[in-house]
Structure 1
Amino acid sequence: LPKTTTPDRGQRRSASESLVENIYLLVIVTLLSVLQNAFFAQKVERECKNHNTRTSAFERVSCANRNCMDAYPTFLAVMWCAGLCLSQAPAAFAGIIYLVVRQKYFVGYLGQTSQSTPGYLFGKRVITFLSLMCVIGIGNYLLVRFYGSDYKEYVETITNAATALLLIP
């Protein structure tokens, strides 16, 4: 019988380092989004303490926070799927853009609700981009699995180039 060996500590560490290497940008964006959520919650709490909860300022900040929280699970899901199924760097970059846009939406909503519209529309564009990355990544996986054709390098190149288009207003 062949002798089985267990990986030594150095080999196990390199496997975990490899895993972290493939997701660390997504982790950073996720942690930044958690900090942003804490900022939003703190703004709601401060407005609640400073004013009567029936004021229009409290209603606006509360509504902005609620709207951001409603879209948050979708953002996390498509960012992680895009990063894992296709490419981490463009997904994380799109995630950073989404956080900036979400901040713009939140602050815009505190003024007049019409000021939040550009942030809302831009956020939809980023979510759509991440969703397309997910579909393309899954499609490439299926092509590899069933037909042996791997287009990941080509798709990653196109995705990296297309990510820059997110910066166009």
Structure 2
Amino acid sequence: MTSDLPVLLAAVSILSALHLALQAKRVGWSRMKHKIMPPTVTGPPEFERTFRAHQNSVEMYSVFLVVLWISGIFCSEVLASLGGLLYVVGREMYFTGYIRESKKRLPGFYLAVCALLFLTVTATIGIIQAFLNKYLNTRLL
């Protein structure tokens, strides 16, 4: 094994996958608490908020992984990993806030969106810089 493997990106990816799995487990616990059998997705408001919070996380997960890895490979692994950690923290804040009350999801939502924007911008800058370097023999930064 070489030292240039993207260890930080891999660690953040595993952490985020475990976090998503824990959210799924919490949906299962909510199902048991409220006696809601699959495939039913409606029930008491607390269950519906728990279910939606997890679904929202699942819906954004592929976007997160794409920008995390592109940012880490083309820009900076350390910066991308920090952005990834902020995203995971934001998703946890979003999830726990949403379970309590819909409006309480907003601080986590804003943190996760800011992390995604940061990762998207750094990924884009990295791609542009790599393109200019490879095809035009020019450096932007």
Q: What is the TM-score of this pair, normalised by structure 1?
A: 0.76
Dislocated runs of 4+, deviation >2 Å: none
Q: In the alignment, residue 103 of structure 2 is paired with which amino acid?
A: S
Name the larger-Rg structure: 1
The range that moved more, 116-125 or 69-78, is 116-125
Please state how far the C-alpha of 1:134 moved relative to its aligned partner. Answer: 1.1
Please state how far the C-alpha of 1:18 moved relative to its aligned partner. Answer: 3.6
Please state how far the C-alpha of 1:143 moved relative to its aligned partner. Answer: 1.3
Higher relative helix content? 1
In structure 1, distance between residues paired with 2:14 and 2:50:
22
Q: Is residue 57–residue 91 contact of structure 2 (8 Å, CA) maintained in 1? A: yes
1:115 pairs with 2:104: yes
1:38-57 CA distance string (max 9 Å, x none): 11011000110111332221
In structure 1, distance between residues paired with 2:2 and 2:10:
14
1:29-87 CA distance string (max 9 Å, x none): 00101110111011000110111332221111001100111111100110001001111
Percent identity of the aligned residues?
Answer: 30
Please state how far the C-alpha of 1:150 moved relative to its aligned partner. Answer: 2.7
For structure 2, the residue ranges without an aligned partner over 5 or more in a row are 37-42
Q: CA RMSD in A?
A: 1.2
Q: In the alignment, residue 17 of structure 1 is paired with which amino acid?
A: T
1:52 pairs with 2:31: no
In structure 2, distance between residues paired with 1:133 and 1:81:
9
Please state how far the C-alpha of 1:110 moved relative to its aligned partner. Answer: 0.6
Q: In the alignment, residue 106 of structure 1 is paired with which amino acid?
A: F
Residue 2 of structure 2 aligns with which residue?
17
Q: What is the TM-score of this pair, normalised by structure 2?
A: 0.90
Q: Is residue 90–residue 110 contact of structure 2 (8 Å, CA) maintained in 1? A: no
